[in-house]
Amino acid sequence: MAVHFIPMRLIERYFFRQFLWPTLAAAGALTVVAILSEAVSSLRLLISDRASALVFAKVILLATPQLLVLILPIAILVAALIALNRLHTENEIVICFAGGASRWRVISPAVRLACLATLVSFVVTFWIQPISFRAMRDTLEAARTDLVTSLIRPGAFTHPAPGLTVYAQSVDQNGVIHNLFIDHASPAGRDTSITAQEGRLTSRGGAPVLLLRQGANAAYSRSGGLEFLSFDEYALDVRSLLGESRSVRYKPSDRFMHELFFPDRRIAWDVQHAGELLAEGHARIAAPLYNLAFMGLALAAILGGAFSRMGYGGRIAVAAAAALGLRIAGLAAQAAAAHSPALNLLQYGPPLLAIAGGAALVLMDVRLSRSPDSPPLSSALATA
C-alpha cells in the first residue's frame, strides 16, 4: 500500500475551512434569531410610539453589533463541536496524528479562527458598539420628537402625558395644525390652557417646540389667581410638557472605553455611576475572550480524551453546560462589580479558566489512548 503524504500547510487550510463555514452558518442563524427577538422587543416603537418602519429597521440594525459580540462565542462553540466531531469520528484527525502531526498542528486552524473572532469582537466592543449605540440613542430621541405630531389626532382629544390634554381640529399636508387646544395640569399646582389658530412643530436650539400663532395663554393657580395673555406668536417647549430631558444621556453601553475608565467628574451622573461604568469597561475587554474560551471547551471535549467510535454526545453536553455556566458567571461578576469595583478582576476569571483548562487537556504531552471500540490504526489509514 502506497501512502501519499500531504503537506501540513494544505491540511491546516483544509481544517480551517472545516471550522470556518460552520461558524459563519451558525453565526448567521443565531444573528437572525437575535434580530427577530430584538424586533419583537422593539415593537413598542411601531405600536405605541407610532414610529415609521424606517426608524424601526434602523434601531434594529444599530443594535446588531452588541448582539454579534454575544453570538460569536456561541457560534464558535457550536461550529467547533460539529466540525471536530465529524473530523474525529471519520478518522481524519487520527490519520493526521498517525502521520506525525503534532497536536498543535491539528488544533492551530481552530485556534486561529478563534483568535480572528476575538479580534473582531474587540473592534466591535471598543469602537463599533459605542458608535452604533449613540446613533441608536439619537434615533430614538428623534423618534420621540416626531411622536408629538403623531399624537395630535385631528378631531380627537389625546393624552400624551399625565395631566396633558391635546386637541387639534385638522392638520394639513404642510404639517400646519389648525385650531389647537392644549391643557396642562402641572404637579406644582398651576394649570395652563393654550389655544391657537395655527401651530407647527419646529426646532430651536436643538429642542423641539410648537410654534403657535394667533392664540391665548390662560394660567390658573390653584392657590388663587388667573393670568391671561394673548399672543401673535408663541414658542412652546414640547419637552417641558412631556417631562423629557433636553439632552440625550448616553448609557454605559453607549460610551467609548476612555469614557468608561475615566468618567467626567464634572457630570454628577458619571460620578454617581462610576462603578457601573468601570464594570462595563472591564466587561468589554472580557467578552471577546469567550471566543477563545469556548473554542478551548470544544477542543477539550473532542480531543481531550480517548477516541470513541460511538460519538461524543456526553462530552459535548458537558462542554455546552460548562460554556453556559461560565457565561452566567461572567455576567454575575459584572453585576457584582458595578457595586464593588474590586470585583472587576472576577470578570476575567471564567474565560481565562476555560482557556487554561482547554489548553491543559488538549496540549498535554500524553500518549494517544484508544477506547476499546476505536479502529486499528492500519484500518484507519486504509480507509483514508
Could you tell me how many helices (H) and strands (E) the chain has, helices first?
15, 6
Residue 310 has what pLDDT? Answer: 64
* Nearest residue to 279 (alpha-carbon basis) of 232, 196, 336: 336
How far is residue 149's CA from residue 208's CA, in Å, rounded to a whole number? Answer: 11
Better-predicted residue by pLDDT, 212 or 102: 212
Q: Which of 24-38, 208-222, 360-374 has the lowest mean pLDDT?
A: 360-374
Residue 243 has what pLDDT? Answer: 57
For residue 203, list its beta bridge partners.
208
102 contact partners, CB below 8 Å, separation of at least 6: none
Residue 308 has what pLDDT? Answer: 63
* Nearest residue to 383 (alpha-carbon basis) of 313, 316, 315, 309: 309
The percent of residues above 90 in pLDDT, for the chain, comes to 41
Better-predicted residue by pLDDT, 199 or 247: 199
The 8 Å CB, 24+ separation contacts for 159-166 are: 160/241, 160/242, 161/241, 161/242, 161/243, 163/187, 164/241, 164/242
Residue 355 has what pLDDT? Answer: 95
Residue 42 has pLDDT above 80, yes or no: no
Residue 261 has what pLDDT? Answer: 95
- Beta strands 177-185; 157-161: pairing state: unpaired
How does the average pLDDT of the chain come out, rounded? 82
Q: Which of 14-28, 167-181, 362-376 has the lowest mean pLDDT?
A: 362-376
How far is residue 227's CA from residue 225's CA, in Å, rounded to a whole number? Answer: 7
**130-168 pLDDT per residue, tens:** 999 999 888 877 766 665 665 677 888 887 777 788 888
For residue 185, list its beta bridge partners.
191
Residue 109 has pLDDT above 60, yes or no: yes
**48-91 pLDDT per residue, tens:** 555 667 777 888 889 889 899 999 999 999 999 999 988 887 88
Residue 131 has what pLDDT? Answer: 94
How is 312-375 classified by DSSP, letter by letter? -HHHHHHHHHHHHHHHHHHHHHHHHHTT-GGGGGGGGHHHHHHHHHHHHHHHS--PPPB-TTSP
Are 35 and 67 in contact by the 8 Å Cβ rule? The answer is yes
Strands of 65-205 (E only): list them: 157-161, 164-171, 177-185, 190-204
Residue 276 has what pLDDT? Answer: 95
Residue 242 has what pLDDT? Answer: 60
Indicate the angle between helix axes 289-303 and 103-123, nearest 10 degrees.
160
Q: How confident is the model at residue 40 (pLDDT cuts 50, 70, 90)?
A: confident
Residue 26 has what pLDDT? Answer: 93
Residue 259 has pLDDT above 90, yes or no: yes
Q: Which residues in 268-304 are b (16+ Cβ under 10 Å) and which e?
A: eebeebbebbbbbbbbbebbbbbbbbbbbbbbbbbbb
Q: How confident is the model at residue 353 (pLDDT cuts 50, 70, 90)?
A: very high
How is 254-286 classified by DSSP, letter by letter? GS-HHHHHS--TTSHHHHHTHHHHHHHHHHHHH
The gap from C-alpha 36 to its chain's centroid, in whole angstroms, comes to 13
What's the grid cell of residue 232?
Answer: 401673535
The average pLDDT across 316-327 equals: 94
What's the grid cell of residue 141?
Answer: 430621541
Residue 380 has what pLDDT? Answer: 39
Determine the 3-state secondary structure of 225 from DSSP: coil
Residue 322 has what pLDDT? Answer: 95
Residue 293 has pLDDT above 70, yes or no: yes
Q: Scanning the structure block, which residue is given the C-alpha cell 502531526?
A: 101
Residue 120 has pLDDT above 90, yes or no: yes
Are 290 and 351 in contact by the 8 Å Cβ rule? The answer is yes
Are 197 and 230 in contact by the 8 Å Cβ rule? The answer is no
Better-predicted residue by pLDDT, 309 or 117: 117
The average pLDDT across 2-31 equals: 82
Q: Residues 270, 272, 274, 275: what is their CA dihedral angle, to the nearest 10 degrees?
A: -150
Residue 36 has what pLDDT? Answer: 85
* Nearest residue to 369 (alpha-carbon basis) of 358, 378, 377, 359: 377
Measuring CA to CA, how many Å separate 111 from each of 20, 76, 203, 349, 354? 11, 10, 54, 20, 14
Q: How confident is the model at residue 378 (pLDDT cuts 50, 70, 90)?
A: very low
Residue 173 has pLDDT above 50, yes or no: yes
Residue type, 190: R
Are 358 and 299 in contact by the 8 Å Cβ rule? The answer is yes
Q: Which of 59-68, 76-85, 188-197, 233-242 has the lowest mean pLDDT?
A: 233-242
Residue 18 has pLDDT above 70, yes or no: yes
Are 149 and 65 in contact by the 8 Å Cβ rule? The answer is no
Q: Which of 235-244, 295-304, 340-349 has the lowest mean pLDDT?
A: 235-244
Q: How confident is the model at residue 113 (pLDDT cuts 50, 70, 90)?
A: very high
Indicate the angle between helix axes 53-62 and 129-151, nearest 10 degrees.
160
How far is residue 371's CA from residue 153's CA, in Å, rounded to a whole number? Answer: 75
